[in-house]
Amino acid sequence: MVKGTKKKSTIKFVIDCTQPVDDKVLDVASFEKYLHDRIKIDGKTGALASNSVVITRDRTKLTVASPSELAFSKRQLKYLSKRYLKKQQLRDYLRVVAASKNSYELRYFSISSGADEEAEE
């Protein structure tokens, strides 16, 4: 009897930073390092490699891939993203929005409605 090899499935979470990076407001490399240093697994930071969690970076996107049996939290990524924005003093201008089931997007607050009301008066 030959046992079938089980394929380990991974869950990928994407943080899309396209708008702030194009405007040169956000540095993706420092954001990646921040996440790498602060992501907790089983209550411990710095345990990414031992649990085979991988953070990869494109020009404007960060991808966090973790094994599905680890039950990595998407909510933790949002929390850390908001903390990073606060640390960089960008929290007043940017917000973290869920773009899909497994991705977040950094968007600017839309404040155009206030300017339209003033123009009408």
What pLDDT digit, counting tens, does each position of 82-111 carry? Answer: 999 999 999 999 999 999 999 999 999 887
Beta-carbon neighbour count of residue 113 at 10 Å? 7
Contacts of 102 by beta carbon, 8 Å cutoff, 6+ apart:
11, 12, 13, 14, 74
Contacts of 39 by beta carbon, 8 Å cutoff, 6+ apart:
45, 48, 53, 55, 64, 76, 77, 80
Per-residue tokens: 8: 């380990």
Rounded to the nearest 10 degrees, the angle between the axes of helix 74-87 and helix 28-38 is: 120
CA distance 116 to 70: 48
Mean pLDDT value across residues 64-79: 91
pLDDT over 60 (residue 81): yes
What global pTM score does this model have? 0.81
Give the per-residue pLDDT at 8: 73
